[in-house]
């Protein structure tokens, strides 16, 4: 959705290495926002984005209006794919995945890619996009790419630009709690105790509004999945009014 950073550039570079022709789509998609204020405040930096995309190896920037993509007023039909669209991000952002499904479906119709590259920071989104491919019988191979972090471990996000220096420092608690919980679980310690300790770290900070931190299977995102099937620890929290997500592979 624009406001490109090194994380986005890494996707473009990987695509350029793998493919003959790389298209990057840039659209702040209105149907993904349940909060109109969040949509209005989302960074829009197309000129700067074009420079980053070009330097990273993009051959074409596809930057239509929402009306052009949707062929009229932007809208998204409601989709119920169980926990995949209703749990975690689907629970805290009602209608968000309706917008993701609608815009990705249109994008694949328009561009018809052989491969599509998505960052693993939006882990649940990748699972939803894979379902879009299956439902639409698209040929696109969905390539998930690792999270790019700054030197302190903070996952890069377009939303980080809305944080103060103090907020950036506070946001580091997300990755720190994730890594701590993952390390303990991988060492064979109790999943419940490890997650509870991470929850306490985040909940004790007066500057963090924790939404969830939990283990998930990257394919199902069902809260009822056994810890034995978990592939990641995921977290979502609000800092200085900015909503951030992150995850760590087990």
Active centre residues (catalytic):
8
Query: Which residues, listed in sequence order, are joined to residue 25 by a DSSP beta bridge?
Result: 62
How many other C-beta atoms lie within 10 A of the C-beta of residue 223?
A: 14
> Hunting for tokens 């990257």 — which residue is that?
218
148 DSSP assignment: P
Which of 233, 223, 250 has its CA nearest to residue 88?
223
Tell me if 176 sits within 8 A of 162, measured CB to CB: no
| DSSP helix, strand, coil percent of the chain (3-state; round to 5) | 50, 15, 35
- Helices marked H in the chain: 6-18, 36-41, 46-56, 66-70, 83-86, 89-92, 96-111, 123-136, 165-186, 191-203
């Amino acid at each position: 959705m624009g406001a490109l950073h090194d994380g986005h550039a890494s996707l473009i570079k990987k695509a350029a290495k793998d493919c003959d022709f790389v298209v990057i789509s840039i659209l702040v998609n209105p149907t993904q926002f349940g909060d109109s204020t969040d949509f209005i405040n989302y960074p829009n930096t197309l000129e700067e984005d074009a420079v980053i995309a070009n330097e990273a190896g993009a051959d074409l920037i596809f930057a239509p209006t929402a009306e052009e993509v949707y062929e009229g007023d932007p809208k998204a039909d409601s989709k119920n794919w169980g926990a995949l669209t209703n749990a975690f991000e689907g629970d805290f952002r009602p209608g968000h995945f309706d917008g993701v499904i609608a815009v990705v479906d249109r994008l694949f119709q328009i561009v018809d890619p052989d491969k599509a590259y998505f960052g693993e920071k939006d882990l649940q989104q990748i699972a939803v996009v894979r379902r879009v491919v299956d439902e639409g019988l698209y040929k696109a191979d969905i390539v998930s790419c690792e999270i790019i972090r700054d030197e302190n471990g903070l996952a890069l996000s377009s939303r980080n630009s809305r944080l103060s220096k103090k907020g950036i420092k506070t946001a580091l608690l997300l990755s720190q709690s994730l890594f701590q919980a993952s390390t303990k679980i991988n060492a064979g310690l109790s999943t419940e105790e490890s997650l509870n300790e991470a929850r306490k770290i985040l909940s004790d900070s007066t500057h963090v509004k924790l939404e969830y931190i939990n283990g998930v299977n990257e394919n199902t995102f069902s809260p009822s999945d056994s810890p034995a099937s978990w592939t990641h620890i995921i977290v979502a929290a609000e800092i200085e009014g900015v909503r951030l997500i992150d995850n760590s592979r087990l």
